[in-house]
């Protein structure tokens, strides 16, 4: 199948039909090009959205409350539900062995912070020490809050890197004092967050201090938890769903909320979000594969039609070959060889050009939701396999038709 004469024959056929071969190959190359570009963009979307998930702990659950939407036990709808320290303490104690990190949050949505002549309005939150790990925060300088700060109602703060840069510019912030509502707080640390500047506009202080200084009483705005690691994603998802259901039931009972009221207690389960995301990305990936394969099929049909025309043009030649003793298998291999060669070369052109485009243009289209658009080695190997199969399919029917030509009829062909 790979003797020199057969290769020479293929090149002669191509050279006699340059335009026809070019247009045929272009349809196959376009199919592979579109398939790889779509898969690369799909992978980029997957990478980008995955990085958004990774900005916080992977298995985090956020819990907050809103207004009731239904009457329950004589209580009117429209009540604003506010969680208490006791709610958090009960959950933390009951699920102590199942929880990895935990924190309740007392939030001042916009607090004015002053340092010398500089000032700014930032998000101020009272939290527990575990909150550093819930948010995947990294210390740039100094330290995070600890349990002594919490127990002793210390007036200390940890600044986001953006806050530090706005207030202190190039000056060291740790050890300095800032004013929040005209009260001095000592800066003990500066943190960075994988979520970027948006997350670095926050200021953290001990939850107990925040509640006392800002007249919060024993109220909290949010609770955040992560569960212990599991052996598989499915096991972790199942554990988080059980925990969510039990916590929701407890809070509804504590605050006299109807069991079927879906607006009073809201639980955001990152693992459920991740599952929805993975399912969505699978659907998008299948769709992209479908579009690419359909484009390749269109190219294969074009190749098959061209090969039929070539077989028709070479009918007399095929008749001579068969009259001289050529076996049907050799005729089939002759046509298949040419078909596979054209589709494979054209496909590799499409593959290489699409990979080059992803390599050079990919960094220019990166956003928060598209990162490193590319395809892995396994996908590249799959496309090569598709090329060979496509070439064989494109040439099979023309080859089968050529093999059935009777020599006596072929020799009469004009």
Query: Which position has the higher pLDDT, 53 or 103?
Result: 103
pLDDT tens-digit map of 128-183 = 999 999 988 999 999 999 999 999 999 999 999 999 999 998 899 999 999 998 89
Q: What is the pLDDT of residue 109?
A: 64
Residues 107 and 87 in one domain: no
User: Residue 208: is its pLDDT beyond 80?
Assistant: yes
The residue-averaged pLDDT of 350-369 equals 77
Going by pLDDT thresholds of 50, 70 and 90, the confidence category of residue 37 is confident
Residue 162: give the domain boundaries: 100-221
Residue 205 and residue 156 in contact, taking contact as beta carbons nearer than 8 Å: yes
- 9/45 Cα distance (integer angstroms): 46
Predicted local distance difference test score (pLDDT) of residue 54: 53
Checking if the pLDDT of 281 tops 50, the result is: yes
Is the Cβ–Cβ distance between 168 and 176 less than 8 Å? Answer: yes
77 and 115 fall within a common domain: no
Helix (H) or strand (E) holding 257: none
**Which range, 15-24, 50-59, 181-190, 405-414, is most confident?**
181-190
In a domain, 121, yes or no: yes
Residue whose pair of structure tokens reads 């598989």 in the numeric block: 232
pLDDT at 80: 94
Please tell me whether residues 281 and 372 are part of one structural domain. yes
Q: Which of 182, 105, 163 has the alpha carbon at shortest distance from 174?
A: 163
- Residue 197, φ and ψ in degrees, nearest 5: -60, -35
User: For residue 59, is it within any domain?
Assistant: no
- Please give the backbone phi and psi of residue 260, each rounded to the nearest 5 degrees, phi first: -100, 20
**Confidence at residue 56, expressed as pLDDT on a 0 to 100 scale:** 46
Residues 94, 232: one domain?
Answer: yes
Q: Residues 321, 403: one domain?
A: yes
215 belongs to a structural domain: yes
pLDDT, position 344 = 80
**Whether residues 126 and 188 fall in one domain:** yes
Same domain, 195 and 77: no
Break the chain down into helix, strand, coil percent, rounded to 5: 55, 20, 25
Of residues 312, 331, 332, 333, the one with CA closest to residue 322: 331
The label of the residue with tokens 């779509």 reads 38
* Calpha distance 63→72 (Å, rounded): 21
Q: Report the number of distinct structural domains present in the chain.
A: 3
Residue 268, domain member (yes or no): no
Is 58 part of any domain? no
Does residue 182 sit in the same domain as residue 323?
no
DSSP 220: E
Quickly tell me which residue has 């247009």 as its tokens. Answer: 23
Cβ–Cβ < 8 Å for 191, 140: yes
In a domain, 270, yes or no: no
Kindly state whether residues 213 and 304 are assigned to the same domain.
no
Q: What is the DSSP string of 158-200?
A: EEEHHHHHHHHTTS--TT-EEEETTEEEEEEEEEE-TT-TTGG
Geometric angle at alpha carbon 9, from 6 and 12, rounded to 5°: 155
The reply to whether 136 and 239 lie within a common domain is: no
Helix, strand or coil, per DSSP, at residue 108: strand
Residues 283 and 388 in one domain: yes
Which are the contacts of 245, defined by CB distance < 8 A and separation ≥ 6? none
Q: Within a 13 Å sphere around the CA of 136, how many CA atoms are in the beta-carbon half?
A: 15
* Interatomic CA distance for residues 200 and 295, integer angstroms: 46
Is the model's pLDDT at 221 over the cut of 80? yes
Arithmetic mean of pLDDT, 342-360 = 83
242 in any annotated domain: yes
Q: Write the pLDDT tens digit of every residue in 74-126.
A: 888 999 999 999 999 999 999 999 999 999 999 886 678 999 889 999 999 99
Q: How far apart are CA 127 and CA 205, in angstroms?
A: 6
Q: What is the dihedral of CA 88, 90, 93, 96, to 10 degrees?
A: -60
Give the per-residue pLDDT at 6. 67
Which residue has better confidence, 49 or 341? 341
Domain membership of residue 249 (yes or no) is: yes
Give the pLDDT of residue 57: 47
**Residue 328 CB burial class (10 angstroms; 0-12, 13-18, ≥19):** middle
Give the pLDDT confidence score for residue 315 in this predicted structure: 67
pLDDT tops 70 at residue 261 = yes
Same domain flag for 216 and 246: no
């Amino acid at each position: 199948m790979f003797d020199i004469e057969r290769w020479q024959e293929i090149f002669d056929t191509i050279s006699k039909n340059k335009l026809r071969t070019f247009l045929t190959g272009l349809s196959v190359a376009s199919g592979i090009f579109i398939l790889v570009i779509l898969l690369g963009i799909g992978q980029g979307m997957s990478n980008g959205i995955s990085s958004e998930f990774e900005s916080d702990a992977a298995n985090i659950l956020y819990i907050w409350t809103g207004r009731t939407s239904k009457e329950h036990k004589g209580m009117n709808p429209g009540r604003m539900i506010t969680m208490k320290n006791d709610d958090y303490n009960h959950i933390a104690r009951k699920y102590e062995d199942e929880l990895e990190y935990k924190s309740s949050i007392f939030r001042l949505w916009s607090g004015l912070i002053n340092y010398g002549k500089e000032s700014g309005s930032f998000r101020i939150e009272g939290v527990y020490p575990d909150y550093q790990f819930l948010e995947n925060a990294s210390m740039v300088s100094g330290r995070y809050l600890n349990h002594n700060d919490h127990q002793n109602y210390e007036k200390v703060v940890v600044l986001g890197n953006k806050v530090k840069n706005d207030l202190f510019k190039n000056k060291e912030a740790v050890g300095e004092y800032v004013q929040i509502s005209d009260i001095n707080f000592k800066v003990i640390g500066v943190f960075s967050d994988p979520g970027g500047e948006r997350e670095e506009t926050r200021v953290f202080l001990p939850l107990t201090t925040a509640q006392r200084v800002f007249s919060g009483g024993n109220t909290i705005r949010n609770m955040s938890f992560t569960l212990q690691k599991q052996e598989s994603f499915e096991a972790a998802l199942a554990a988080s769903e059980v925990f969510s259901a039990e916590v929701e039931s407890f809070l509804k009972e504590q605050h006299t909320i109807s069991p079927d009221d879906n607006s009073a207690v809201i639980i955001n389960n990152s693992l459920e979000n991740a599952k929805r995301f993975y399912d969505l990305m699978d659907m998008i990936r299948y769709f992209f594969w479908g579009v690419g394969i359909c484009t390749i099929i269109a190219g294969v049909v074009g190749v098959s039609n061209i090969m039929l025309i070539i077989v028709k043009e070479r009918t007399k030649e095929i008749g001579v070959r068969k009259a001289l003793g050529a076996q049907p298998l050799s005729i089939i291999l002759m046509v298949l060889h040419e078909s596979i060669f054209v589709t494979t070369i054209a496909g590799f052109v499409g593959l290489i050009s699409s990979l080059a485009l992803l390599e050079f243009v990919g960094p220019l289209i990166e956003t928060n939701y598209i990162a490193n658009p590319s395809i892995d080695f396994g996908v590249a190997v799959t496309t090569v396999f598709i090329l060979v199969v496509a070439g064989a399919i494109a040439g099979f029917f023309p080859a089968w038709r050529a093999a059935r030509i009777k020599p006596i009829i072929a020799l009469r062909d004009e």
